Structure 1
């Protein structure tokens, strides 16, 4: 019985040693995995920062282009308003002349 107990103790001691080695190796693997994950994290942050810069530049370009389009539209609207104003003035002038002629005709009859 003493021999069986001694053999069991040796087996447990051996398994304990193996377990410690496995835990050590698992710790090393875990550290390697953590370092790998940390590298991925840093790369992702760099890509996000770069993407942010690119989006910022694109947004600035699009805002600039939009501003130019708004300016062009304002000029076109301004030109169209001026054209319409001239047409209205000419129409009013013609109406005024027609009214004057009608007034002259009516005055001659009385």
Structure 2
């Protein structure tokens, strides 16, 4: 029984570590996407400053498109975080059930 509990705890630790890695990768991906958006923003600002009002009118659509890209990124990240949360909650729930079953077996053995 003790060995099974150790296995369950090891599984839970592994799942926790995997979740951390997934979150870190998601954070890195978000940072890369944000850096791309920042680069576009910086380039756009330079072009607006250099070309003046005429360029501002010409880039109106680009500003709109960039806003849409930011919205898409926000939704993409929200969806990924929600998916990860559901997945990990299910895993934790299953491990909790296994631990509860093992606990009941241990209690029966010592009655």
TM-score of the two chains, using structure 2 as the length reference: 0.50
Q: Distance in 2 between matches of 1:33 and 1:9?
A: 35
> RCO greater where, 1 or 2, for CA within 8 Å and sep 6 or more?
2
Match of 1:49 in 2: 93
Q: Provide structure 1 residue ranges, at least 5 long, that are not aligned to the other structure.
A: 1-6, 68-110
Provide runs of 4+ in structure 1 moved above 6 Å.
none
Match of 1:19 in 2: 63
Q: Distance in 2 between matches of 1:58 and 1:14?
A: 68
Match of 2:48 in 1: none
Match of 2:53 in 1: 9
Q: Distance in 2 between matches of 1:54 and 1:48?
A: 10
Over aligned residue pairs, what C-alpha RMSD do you find?
Answer: 1.4
